[in-house]
Chain A
């Protein structure tokens, strides 16, 4: 498969040459395949946001390259705007992305900018609003009068309405209630399957990453510390701990049972898998006891 996005020795230094210089992204080499769903995890300040803001040309690398469909995105700096339509980004604090009078107008802004007519843009906006679970009663309200979780939905809808090839979401579910979280992740999942586009999801919730990602990129102090399949990454729990990360609670439970001598496999990532493993064991035990 072809890589849709590739980084070559990507490095970003804030305030270079000053006493406050800070290398936030340090020689990162990754290749993201077309159509895959990548989870990005890492401690606070590990460089996740800095990394992904370079992927759509919002930040210009200090050194190194980003290839989109094999082409250096900075080869022609004047065309960088086009990159932003192909790589759509939902920022960590979506409040900054909101500025229009009404929720729907805000969501329609991107598609309009991309060249759709007012009507088409509105249609797209409504679809996206529906999709992210924004109640109709909020559509004509000012985005500034919404609760934290509602604002986040507006920001996500705004990017989805642009229908980008690569969808990058920086902590999209932070601040959503558990149901909202589930629904949003399921929707991103089905959007991903339906559109066959590429999704990058940054999250501090290991449970969410375990559920959604094909592969996981682990950032640690600006470096790409791991980039492997989700089960492989979460099998390295001791290393993850040293980087301030964890495995999902259900994975930890199963790993501990295994260490205590119970015949359960490692690499269990979801509740469904755990139940499938545990149920026969418990039933067997009960049957043995009844037989005695």
Chain B
């Protein structure tokens, strides 16, 4: 059975005084299976963060329905269960950091779930180590650099050990190694703990690592499929403000010049292999 299901979801934010409501999601339907790793892409303002907040009931559809393991997010009786299952790392970590000390901040979520103190201690330490912020555990969050805050925000959700983690551009402020590390952490949670991952990103080289890619456009779903299926549609993606990894683009452009390089190259490895075969084959 699907873990999260959005059925014909429409959404409009509460309009400012004297304004008409503007619909930002126009009937989105999608399903996320348990244990999946899904990347959600799309241009600025297409509705990704809005979708993310609908997944854990922070926002409720204006029309249509979102369910988590069959529970309607609009049902007040089960909203607590929904939030326990779906953790959201928000786009701006400052919206999320609440306590005055890093480790208290990470403990905040599990405390709210009523976890016992000893277990909280274990989870907080483990989560901080997973994002490489353990040595900052006694610092004040506001004194951290941009990337460091982002890591703490991720740790806060990891410590809640939800079944599904939605990450809204978690690597936007990280250095290249930090991005790799966060991606590794997410993969590990997915692989070893079976945690369902929904990753919102503008980095195409991260999206190619997902099992499935969903592309949104202006409040609708444009296309979806495996990374290979989606990223072979170079023109379509570019028309909708997106891109492909440099390795994919290099191969694509060489092909358009008539080079016999295979279709569907996604990363550095594959690109080097294909080019080497072309240039050096005896």
Contact call B45/A44, Cβ cutoff below 8 A:
no
A186 close to chain B: CB less than 8 A: no
Contact call B241/A148, Cβ cutoff below 8 A:
no
Contact call B13/A145, Cβ cutoff below 8 A:
yes
Residue numbers in B under 8 Å from A17 (CB-CB): none
Interface residues of A in 251-277 (CB under 8 A from B): 252-253, 256-257, 260-262, 271, 274-275
Top 10 nearest A-B pairs by Cβ distance? Answer: A44-B147, A149-B44, A178-B243, A179-B241, A244-B177, A246-B176, A249-B246, A147-B45, A45-B145, A177-B43
A69 close to chain B: CB less than 8 A: no
A197 and B94 CA atoms in complex are apart in Å by 33
Contact call A148/B143, Cβ cutoff below 8 A:
no
Contact call B145/A250, Cβ cutoff below 8 A:
no
Interface contacts beyond A175-B202, A271-B249: sample of 8 additional A-B pairs, CB < 8 Å, sorted by A: A148-B91, A171-B173, A204-B173, A257-B276, A260-B276, A278-B250, A279-B259, A282-B279
Of chain B, the residue at the smallest CB distance from A20 is: B139
B residues with CB within 8 A of A: 13, 16, 42-45, 49, 91-92, 94, 139, 143-148, 151, 169, 172-179, 202, 204-205, 238, 241-243, 245-247, 249-250, 253-254, 257, 259-261, 268, 271-272, 275-276, 278-281
Contact call A147/B254, Cβ cutoff below 8 A:
no
Contact call A262/B276, Cβ cutoff below 8 A:
yes
A93 and B95 CA atoms in complex are apart in Å by 12
Can you sample 6 A-B contacts with CB below 8 Å? A42-B175, A95-B94, A253-B246, A271-B246, A279-B257, A282-B261
Residue of A41, A147, A180, A249 near B245 (CB, 8 A) is A249
Contact call B173/A262, Cβ cutoff below 8 A:
no
Of chain A, the residue at the smallest CB distance from B22 is: A137
* Interface bits A165-180 vs B (CB < 8 Å: 1, else 0): 0000001001111111
Contact call A92/B146, Cβ cutoff below 8 A:
yes
A68 and B109 CA atoms in complex are apart in Å by 47
Contact call B139/A49, Cβ cutoff below 8 A:
no
Residue numbers in A under 8 Å from B279 (CB-CB): 257, 262, 278, 281-282, 285
Residue of B44, B175, B253 near A148 (CB, 8 A) is B44
Nearest-Cβ distance from residue A273 to partner chain B, whole angstroms: 11
Contact call B254/A282, Cβ cutoff below 8 A:
yes
Residue of B43, B146, B249, B253 near A44 (CB, 8 A) is B146
Contact call B44/A147, Cβ cutoff below 8 A:
yes
A43 close to chain B: CB less than 8 A: yes
Residue numbers in A under 8 Å from B261 (CB-CB): 282
Residue numbers in B under 8 Å from A92 (CB-CB): 146, 173
A180 and B260 CA atoms in complex are apart in Å by 32
B204, B243, B259, B260, most chain A CB atoms within 10 A = B259
A260 and B147 CA atoms in complex are apart in Å by 36
A99 close to chain B: CB less than 8 A: no
A42, A92, A253, most chain B CB atoms within 10 A = A253
* Interface bits A32-45 vs B (CB < 8 Å: 1, else 0): 00000000011111
Of chain A, the residue at the smallest CB distance from B281 is: A285
Residue of A178, A204, A249, A278 near B174 (CB, 8 A) is A204
A248 close to chain B: CB less than 8 A: yes
Contact call A178/B280, Cβ cutoff below 8 A:
no
Contact call B173/A244, Cβ cutoff below 8 A:
no
Contact call A204/B250, Cβ cutoff below 8 A:
no
A119 close to chain B: CB less than 8 A: no
Residue numbers in A under 8 Å from B144 (CB-CB): 45
Residue numbers in B under 8 Å from A176 (CB-CB): 44, 202
Residue numbers in A under 8 Å from B176 (CB-CB): 204, 206, 244-246
Residue numbers in B under 8 Å from A281 (CB-CB): 279
Residue numbers in A under 8 Å from B271 (CB-CB): 253
Contact call A44/B173, Cβ cutoff below 8 A:
yes
Contact call B172/A245, Cβ cutoff below 8 A:
no
Residue of B45, B243, B247, B253 near A150 (CB, 8 A) is B45
